[in-house]
Amino acid sequence: MNKHSQSERIIIFDTTLRDGEQCPGATLNVDEKLLIARQLARLGVDVIEAGFAYASPGDFEAVQRVAKEVGTEGGPTICSLARAIKADIEAAAEALKPACHARIHTFISTSDIHLEYQLRKSRAEVLAIAEEMVAYAKSFMDDVEFSTMDATRTEPEYLYQVLERASAAGATTINIPDTVGYTTPGEFGALIKGIKDNVPNIDQAIISVHGHNDLGLAVANFLEAVKNGARQLECAINGIGERAGNTALEEIVMALHVRRQYYNLFLGRPAESEEPLTNIDTRQIYKTSRLVSNLTGMLVQPNKAIVGANAFAHESGIHQDGVLKNKLTYEIMDAQSIGLTDNQIVLGKHSGRNAFRTRLRELGFELSDNELNKAFVKFKDLADKKKEITDWDLEAIANDEIQQAPELFRLELVQVTCGDHARPTATVTLRTPEGEELIDAATGTGPVDAVYKAISRVVNVPNKLIEFSVQSVTAGIDAIGEVTIRLRHNERVYSGHAANTDIIVASAQAYVNALNRLYAALQDEKVPSSKSGIKEDSVVVQGVREQA
């Protein structure tokens, strides 16, 4: 039986690093996954699905490092996805070895359309595979989750049979995915109820749900599933994921938090109970959203529920008047409950290093001495440019330092000329890994394009810029601008991130940051490595990254 009681609370299973990363353009490297995993642990998620260990050596390494560095005693359970295939399960078990609490999440399709066109197997064959592979996963660890892919389009009677076999084989969590975002709340609730009523041994496992937002119903579907007995919810930060995305963690958690008096009854609690329904520290939600947005380069739309820029903004005169008199007139939750603090001055240019370190710790950042020194220099530089230094500014500085790649090429100078009747021209100076100073210039369609062309001429590593995004940290003409870019080289994607009050400088720094990651990877490739535990020439079967 899973360590969490079914009636005690809702288990939050985060799949940002696995299904979320499958969102087009959201590919993360190992270090970025580790940063997000650490923040997810601070957020209080119960299970982190760190990746798909068999999919690639990179995925294996990511799962292994998250298992080792985040899956510590008292930390979250670390999970790896695996098809119902022995090689997948073995790779997952190997990658998860360092974790104190580990879980193998194995899956197989059960809908007739998937059986006929994807698996080309009969119902009887799938039934036998499910039972055998759950038992095989169970031979490696006690905590095993089993998913029936495309469950919402599976004939219910057959679904009951598969779940009964999987539960009997030792699955501690039974997951019901709405893989294609097809179901509606009433249907999904009825499906969960049907499972509880018709699978004799279902009480031996926790019922979990996984949903996609193709019809915009993912959160509503989950809430209905909770009412009918689901006790684990699989979701992703900012709702990122395949196609229209996954169920958004921040939305489902805050729905359960704000309306807990309504949902208390479905968990066997007194309606008036103020005990949280999840283990999530809601004050970490906004910070986690920002981190994922920065690292993936996927901006959060202003009107996004909970974490959008306009979520707590009021322009209507009637609304403003009401909020000023009493926030409850037009706000159903406090902005501070998700960690969104007022733009107050927290530090100034006369603040010392100790005050700076203390405030960063209060914000949840633990920087090494080297990182702190560099961040403090950036803080002092910013304090000379801005009258007001906010917590958001400090977070941008800290995140910018934490996300830095190894400093191989260093940007020494960037200078641009542009205008409506001038051809944008950029001059850059970079210091090479050997310490040599190189200067070059280029023209472009705009100042950023000119800067990137000049930097590319200096570094001389072929690459293709595939994504460029800019986001303001705070309001105002002197706001810090955060730039996230992604570039491709030999089918691999490398990201770069930087923050500066000068958006051109931030763009240049982000590009150099990404190029440093690329250059470091090229250097590593020159040295044979077998850190992953999987053969480098392993064939990745078509469709291996398909989500449950």
Angle at 398 between CA 397 and CA 401, to 5 degrees: 85
Angle at 334 between CA 331 and CA 337, to 5 degrees: 150
Q: Locate 527 and state its tokens.
A: 């040295």
Helix H segments across 297-368? 317-325, 353-362
Q: Locate 6 and state its tokens.
A: 């079914």
Measuring CA to CA, how many Å separate 519 from each of 56, 313, 466, 523, 527? 21, 43, 17, 6, 13
CATH architecture of 11-296: Alpha-Beta Barrel (3.20)
Q: Are 496 and 517 in contact (CB under 8 A)?
A: yes
E strand map for 84-205: 102-109, 144-149, 173-178
Torsion of CA 454, 456, 460, 461, to 10 degrees: 180
Closest CA to 147 of 180, 178, 102, 193: 178
Closest CA to 84 of 133, 150, 122, 119: 133
Between the two ends of the chain, the Cα-to-Cα distance in Å is: 22
Q: Are 428 and 439 in contact (CB under 8 A)?
A: yes
Provide the pLDDT for residue 318: 47
The structure's pTM equals 0.80
Domain ranges of the chain: 11-296, 353-402, 410-525
d(CA 427, CA 460): 16
d(CA 47, CA 70): 11
Provide the pLDDT for residue 497: 83
Q: Locate 367 and state its tokens.
A: 């920087």
How many CB atoms within 10 Å of residue 391?
22
d(CA 51, CA 96): 11
Radius of gyration of the chain (CA): 25
- 410-525 classified as CATH 3.40.640.10: no
Each residue's pLDDT, cut to its tens digit, for the chain (548 residues) gives: 344 444 479 999 999 999 987 776 667 878 889 989 999 999 999 999 999 999 989 899 999 999 999 999 999 999 999 999 999 999 999 999 999 999 999 999 999 999 998 889 999 999 999 999 999 999 999 999 999 999 999 999 999 999 999 999 999 999 999 999 999 999 999 999 999 999 999 999 999 999 999 999 999 999 999 999 999 999 999 999 988 999 999 999 999 999 999 999 999 999 999 999 999 999 999 889 988 987 787 778 888 999 887 777 644 454 444 544 555 555 577 778 888 765 455 677 677 888 888 878 777 677 888 888 888 888 888 888 776 777 778 877 887 777 666 678 999 999 999 998 889 999 999 998 888 999 999 999 999 999 999 999 998 888 999 888 887 776 666 778 888 888 888 877 788 888 888 999 999 999 998 898 888 878 766 644 433 333 333 333 333 434 44
d(CA 524, CA 460): 18
Longest dimension (CA), the chain: 76
Provide the pLDDT for residue 501: 86
452: helix, strand or coil: helix
Strand order in the sheet with 492-500: 464-472, 481-489, 492-500
Partners of 488 in the β-ladder: 464, 493
d(CA 281, CA 406): 32
Amino acid in the structure at residue 76 = P
Closest CA to 468 of 19, 17, 25: 25
